[in-house]
Amino acid sequence: MADNQNGGPSTMTPVRRFNENERPPHPGKRIPSSKFAEHTAPFKDKISLDLKEAFVNVQPSTSDDGPKHTNAVEHFNKLLADLEAEDKDEKPVVEDTEIGTSRPIPDELLQTDLKEHEHSYIKHFASLFVGPIQFVMIGALVIAGILQDWVDFGVICGLLLLNAVVGFVQDFTAGNVVKELKKGLALKSIVVRDGMLREVPSFDLVPGDNVHLEEGTMIPADGSIRTLNIHLQVDQSAVTEESLAPGKRRGDLVYQSSTIKRGDSFMVVAAIGDRTYFGRSASLVNAASTGKGHFTNVMDRIARNLPALVILTILVVWISSFYRSEPIMKILNYTLAITIIGVPVGLPVVVTTTMAIGAAYLAKRKAIVQKLSPIESLAGVEILCTEKTGTLTKNKLSLGEPYTVQGIESTELMLVACLAASRKKKGLDAIDKAFLKALKHYPNTKDMLTTFKVLSFAPFDPVSKKVTAVLESPRGERIVCVKRAPASIFKMVQEANHIPEAVQKEYNETVAEFARRGFRSLGVARKRAKGPWELLGIMPCLDPPRHDTAKTVKEAVALGLKIKMLTGDAVGIAKETSRQLGLGENIYNSERLGLTGGGDMPRSKIYGYVEAADGFAEVFP
């Protein structure tokens, strides 16, 4: 069944609607292939935007609501406890269920994971005997064998094997650890195969598959949303560095490695593996990482120059010995002695062993070294570019110091803001989570919240761009609480109630200041019964730095590193984070570089511009 020309679903088959308390489709459930375009979001009651209509629809409380309210309070207290314990370590749940599929899938389409260049163990072990010094040592080994000098033969052979074995064992062990970690972290997806919802490994997905997405799902491939009448919130911080999850509707693209924060939908897979947006970015990084480190280049120069000098010396000895008619065996003895003395045969062993010790030290610090060579490459770093979201910051929104209108206490502002927040853990967005987590700093507000009864709640609506809650106070008074953009909420209150000019000026200056500092701000307002709207204040949200970031930055700078911050967030947000960490405030918009043809800076000036910058904002892969 196809959609009609107007974009709506065909009426040949009734649309299946899910109740808000019903579980989403589960593996083993049969769904006709024609249903994906028709699948609608779980139904949720929403209050009317007209407040008068909202009050009419609210039923008065009765004595039967007592147990229900008690259960709601217990549920809300449990939610707050879960949020406070959210940062604690949790053991992953491993499911052993294996459900296959009878649908044949071409092998060439099964490359969902990013391609990795793998070499055979034999080739890798043999490569450890390749190099200028190794070649000279092998030559000396041959000469020692000809001379039957078994002591030197054994020493040289032992040094060659020791260097190869240490390097091979370290690379092999670290590689296996990484492979096991990848197996343990392998994602599974709920996909439609043969008309049935089945759980399959994400690397089995192919373009055209219909994948079911729900809250908490990590998107396994690039694709487009197919569900009608749905508003998803998708955390794209891994791709765009945005701390706040943007909204997605039918037809919008979603990218691999993003996470569903709210909503339930089907997605049609459009690209997998290296063909995804994330995969192409990773390929660019791999292509830029093929060069050798500074230390490796220095060692290569030593390894080339010393053997060249040794060979030149040996030629001089051979020529002089030839004119003196020296026996060939004596000449070979001279050659072996000069080779062992002139070439640092122990250098490869010392370097490899030193890096292996460094890898063992890093392993104790819970860092996995997949290869030994990056250890010495890291030692030569002069400029370190680091992403902001999740590396310098927590990638979790938190509240800043609020602004309150004259006569309003911060606890009152916090109370109204939290009343206009969801009390269900499922579907709790980042902003509501930030408000509820901040309750630990407002103990009185936390106690007062449980005394209000929620009559109706409308989560964030992409059309009205606000969150609305209708509640009943302990005294039986109806209260409407709203959170939305500061400018919009100011206009809403101003239309219903006169705001003094002094308050207007202070409010607008605060909005401008928060915007300059890069805060994401929310205005808060309240309406009691049939009274006018009241403007309460503004709550700024920010993604704060990690507790150890400032210390780490200072240590890195003390070691001679220049740190530059890269982020997909706006310039104001980047400058505020950089200011808090002491990185400097020379943060520029990446579009000025003109690397994609849209900038206004000539390429001759780009190098100096990048050197002088402390970071770049609005950067995308």
Q: Is the pLDDT of residue 570 over 50?
A: yes
Name the DSSP letter for residue 116. Answer: -
Do 468 and 483 lie in a common domain?
A: yes
Do 145 and 38 lie in a common domain?
A: no
Average pLDDT of the chain, as a whole number: 74
Determine whether 323 is exposed, middle or buried from the number of CB atoms within 10 Å of its CB (0-12, 13-18, 19+).
Answer: exposed
Question: What pLDDT is recorded for position 113?
Answer: 53
Number of structural domains the chain divides into: 4
CATH number at residue 477: 3.40.1110.10
Do 360 and 389 lie in a common domain?
A: no
Mean pLDDT of 358-377: 70
Looking at the domain assignment, is residue 506 inside a domain? yes
Question: What pLDDT is recorded for position 71?
Answer: 65
* Domain end (from 524, 542, 560): 542
3 state DSSP class of 450: coil
Do 402 and 529 lie in a common domain?
A: yes
The 10 Å CB-count burial string (b at 16+, else e) for 209-229 is bbbbbbbebebbbbbebbbbe
* Domain end (from 323, 355, 380): 380
Mean pLDDT is lowest, of 218-222, 310-314, 325-329, 373-377, for 373-377
Looking at the domain assignment, is residue 30 inside a domain? yes
What's the residue count for the chain? 621
Q: Is the pLDDT of residue 244 over 80?
A: no
> Structural domain of residue 466, as residue ranges?
397-542
Mean pLDDT of 337-364: 74
What six digits make up the tokens of 131? Answer: 């190099």
Do 224 and 307 lie in a common domain?
A: no
Looking at the domain assignment, is residue 532 inside a domain? yes
Mean pLDDT is lowest, of 431-435, 499-503, 559-563, for 431-435
Distance CA 322, CA 324 (A): 5
Distance CA 145, CA 494 (A): 97
What is the separation of C-alpha 8 from the centre of its chain, rounded to a whole number of angstroms?
Answer: 35
CATH number at residue 263: 2.70.150.10
Looking at the domain assignment, is residue 82 inside a domain? no
Q: Is the pLDDT of residue 621 over 60?
A: no
Question: What pLDDT is recorded for position 371?
Answer: 65
Residues of the chain with pLDDT > 70, as a percent, come to: 70
Question: What pLDDT is recorded for position 519?
Answer: 82
Do 421 and 508 lie in a common domain?
A: yes
CATH number at residue 371: 1.20.1110.10
Decide: 509 and 411 in contact? Cβ < 8 Å: no
What six digits make up the tokens of 363? Answer: 């392993």
Looking at the domain assignment, is residue 225 inside a domain? yes
What six digits make up the tokens of 421? Answer: 């927040």
Query: pTM (2 decimals)?
Result: 0.55
Looking at the domain assignment, is residue 253 inside a domain? yes
Question: What pLDDT is recorded for position 29?
Answer: 56
CA angle 439–551–580, rounded 5-degree value = 60
Distance CA 432, CA 69 (A): 21
Do 366 and 481 lie in a common domain?
A: no
Do 409 and 344 lie in a common domain?
A: no
Mean pLDDT of 482-490: 89
pLDDT band at 186 (very low <50, low <70, confident <90, very high): low
Mean pLDDT of 547-565: 89
Q: Give pLDDT tens digits for 22-55.
A: 444 555 555 554 444 444 443 333 323 332 333 2
CA dihedral 230, 236, 240, 244 (to 10 degrees): 80
Do 222 and 171 lie in a common domain?
A: no
Q: Give pLDDT tens digits for 49-108.
A: 332 333 233 333 333 455 555 666 666 677 777 776 665 544 443 333 333 344 454 544
Q: Is the pLDDT of residue 182 over 70?
A: no
Distance CA 470, CA 592 (A): 47
What six digits make up the tokens of 79? Answer: 């939610």
Decide: 393 and 544 in contact? Cβ < 8 Å: yes
pLDDT higher at 147 or 615: 615
Do 527 and 428 lie in a common domain?
A: yes
What six digits make up the tokens of 347? Answer: 């250098």
Decide: 541 and 520 in contact? Cβ < 8 Å: yes
What six digits make up the tokens of 133? Answer: 């010094």
The 10 Å CB-count burial string (b at 16+, else e) for 332-358 is bbbbbebbbebbbbebbbebbbebbeb
Distance CA 31, CA 18 (A): 14
Of 466, 486, 523, 531, the residue nearest 49 (C-alpha): 466
Q: Give pLDDT tens digits for 272-305.
A: 877 888 777 766 666 655 556 666 677 778 777 8
Parallel/antiparallel/unpaired status of strands 615-617 and 587-589: parallel
* Domain end (from 271, 303, 326): 271
Mean pLDDT of 222-238: 81
Mean pLDDT of 430-455: 85
pLDDT band at 578 (very low <50, low <70, confident <90, very high): confident
What is the separation of C-alpha 352 from the centre of its chain, rounded to a whole number of angstroms?
Answer: 33
Q: What are phi and psi of 590, to 5 degrees?
A: -65, -20
Q: Is the pLDDT of residue 146 over 60?
A: yes
How many helices (DSSP H) and strands (DSSP E) are in the chain? 19, 20
Of 549, 565, 553, 542, the residue nearest 613 (C-alpha): 565
Distance CA 274, CA 575 (A): 33
Question: Residue 538 CB: number of other CB atoms within 10 A?
Answer: 25
Distance CA 136, CA 159 (A): 13
3 state DSSP class of 51: helix
pLDDT higher at 524 or 350: 524
Question: What pLDDT is recorded for position 311?
Answer: 83
Q: Which residues contact 509 (CB under 8 A, 6 or more apart)?
A: none
Parallel/antiparallel/unpaired status of strands 383-387 and 247-248: unpaired
pLDDT band at 525 (very low <50, low <70, confident <90, very high): very high
Q: Is the pLDDT of residue 524 over 90?
A: yes
Do 174 and 226 lie in a common domain?
A: no
Looking at the domain assignment, is residue 70 inside a domain? no
Question: What pLDDT is recorded for position 438?
Answer: 86
Distance CA 484, CA 492 (A): 10
Looking at the domain assignment, is residue 65 inside a domain? no
Residue with tokens 């389409």: 109
Do 373 and 238 lie in a common domain?
A: no
